[in-house]
Amino acid sequence: MNQIKSSPPPPFPPDTVWDVAGGKAAGIYTWFKEISEELDNGWVLSDNNRMLMLGGYSYLGLNKRPEINQAAIGAIQTFGTGMSGSRFLAGTTELHSQLEKKIAELHNKEGAIVYTSGYLANVSTIACLLRKNDFIICDKTNHASMIDGGRYSNAKLMRYPHNDLTRLQKILASIPDSSRKLVVIDAIFSMSGEAADIPQIIALCKKYNAYLMVDECHSIFVLGKTGGGIAEYFNIKPDDIDITMATLSKSIPAAGGYIASSEKMINYLRHESRGFIYSIALSAAMAATALRGLEIFESERQTLLERLNDNTEIFKKTLRSSGIQLGDSVTSIIPILVGDPMKAAVAAKICHEHDLYIHAVFPPVVPVGKAILRASITASHKKEDLIMAGKTIGAILTEVEKMELPNISGYN
Ligand SMILES: Cc1ncc(COP(=O)(O)O)c(C=O)c1O
């Protein structure tokens, strides 16, 4: 038989976008750092070393609260560890129904639906709501789960430059009136902590007859006077946002994601959303954890928010007095502007050597030339630890400016 000459196929799996092996060889690979125990006041144990966690999402500092742990243990004793089915079939416990009722009340919506993660809630909701000839319109820095939901749907995905509402308006104006349009947006951008201009976006959606879905993963429980999220922060009527999405894995120390919306919408998702129907139910332990977390939020929100805001201010003030530039965050997400990805990577590595658990964030997650160290502060941090951390990071960034840096693909 004649041999057919051809070039070999591309590597499988394909090459990673950035050079993982090169990063490891240069000693600047800081990801997947193992934690062996969560300690008090934002400290963790890693490699037998106490490290101050500055990269976690437990904004209210509720993780490991004994009452919450107890709720999870109680649910395991009642229901076991497994769910043995999707919510549609054998996986709905009374805890799930109570949790959904509580979430709906929290957002002043008619109903809610809980998924096993926030990622799945976004992907699965968006994918089943939009069809061919529909449009999904996203800010370019939206969380990947919203973009991925748009990709899984058969709708046309249109993305506008970050915060460019003039472009958003142009896009909306260019879509035929007869098409279904969904604008999807992070209330608080996860890397920068800035708030999206939701009142202006609502006005545009109304003008062009578009539906609006808002991701409140980084705003509900922490933003607004009582932690009521973006609606409280901007004094927005609940009905001005068609679909609210959030996670149960950040301020609430559980897992799971949810959608709160009209009864009609929730009923549709319960019967059409593939990530809900064709996947295991959220575990009863996590439903109980989330329920107890919500109760603690309700009863302690004022104290927790006060502590969180004071801690955030102290950390920002310490960094600024070391000459460090920060982004325009309105929450406890603190983007420490570095610019060059390699400098950010080296700074993160030196932070780890000083027992500060923090990560660098590079493009495409942040815009080109705007690499950051991303810190997030919690209500359980101690002020003296945050002052120490702020001063140490200031000194490290000054040092990195003078260093000769390696050149590795993907870190530029
Ligand atoms: C804005 C935003 N949306 C969605 C998600 C996904 O949530 P989960 O971690 O519950 O899957 C995240 C998680 O980081 C997020 O930051």
What digits encode the pLDDT tens for the residues 171-183?
A: 999 999 999 999 9
Is the CB of residue 372 less than 8 Å from the CB of residue 191? yes
Fold classified for 84-282: Aspartate Aminotransferase; domain 2 (3.40.640)
> Is the CB of 130 within 6 Å of ligand 1?
no
First to last CA, the chain: 49
Query: How many Å lie between the centroid of ligand 1 and the Cα of residue 192?
Result: 14
Residue 85 has pLDDT above 60, yes or no: yes
Ligand 1 mutation pick, 120, 247, 283, 331, max ligand atoms within 8 A of CB: 247
* Distance from C-alpha of 211 to C-alpha of 155, rounded to nearest angstrom: 14
Place 17 in a pLDDT band, splitting at 50, 70 and 90. confident
Residue whose CA is at the smallest distance from ligand 1 atom 9: 118
Superfamily of domain 20-63+301-401: Aspartate Aminotransferase, domain 1 (3.90.1150.10)
pTM: 0.96
Q: With a 6 A CB cut-off, is 65 part of the ligand 1 pocket?
A: no
DSSP 256-308: -EEEEE-HHHHHHHHHH-HHHHTSPPPPHHHHHHHHHHHHHHHHHHHHHHHHH
* Predicted pLDDT of residue 344: 95
Q: Tell whether the model's pLDDT for residue 410 goes beyond 70.
A: no
Residues 394 and 323: their CA atoms lie apart, in Å, by 7
Instruction: Phi first, then psi: give them for residue 120, nearest 5 degrees.
Output: -65, -40
Q: Compute the distance between CA of residue 53 and CA of residue 34 in angstroms, rounded to an integer.
A: 12
CA–CA distance, 58 with 377 (Å, rounded to integer): 8
Q: Are the C-beta atoms of 109 and 260 separated by less than 8 Å?
A: yes
Q: Which of 188, 217, 376 to mutate to test the pocket of ligand 1 (most atoms within 8 A of CB)?
A: 217
215 lines ligand 1 (CB under 6 A): yes
Beta-carbon contacts of 406 under 8 Å, excluding residues fewer than 6 positions away, are: 26, 28, 342
How many CB atoms neighbour CB 101 within 10 A?
13
Ligand 1 centroid vs 19 CA: distance in angstroms?
25
Domain boundaries, the chain: 20-63+301-401, 84-282
Residues in the chain: 412
pLDDT at res. 368: 86
Question: pLDDT tens digit string along 212-232?
Answer: 999 999 999 999 999 999 999
Q: Whose CA is nearest to atom 7 of ligand 1?
A: 118
Report whether 320 contacts 326 (CB < 8 A).
yes
pLDDT tens for each residue of 338-396: 999 999 999 999 999 999 999 999 888 888 889 999 999 999 999 999 999 999 999 99
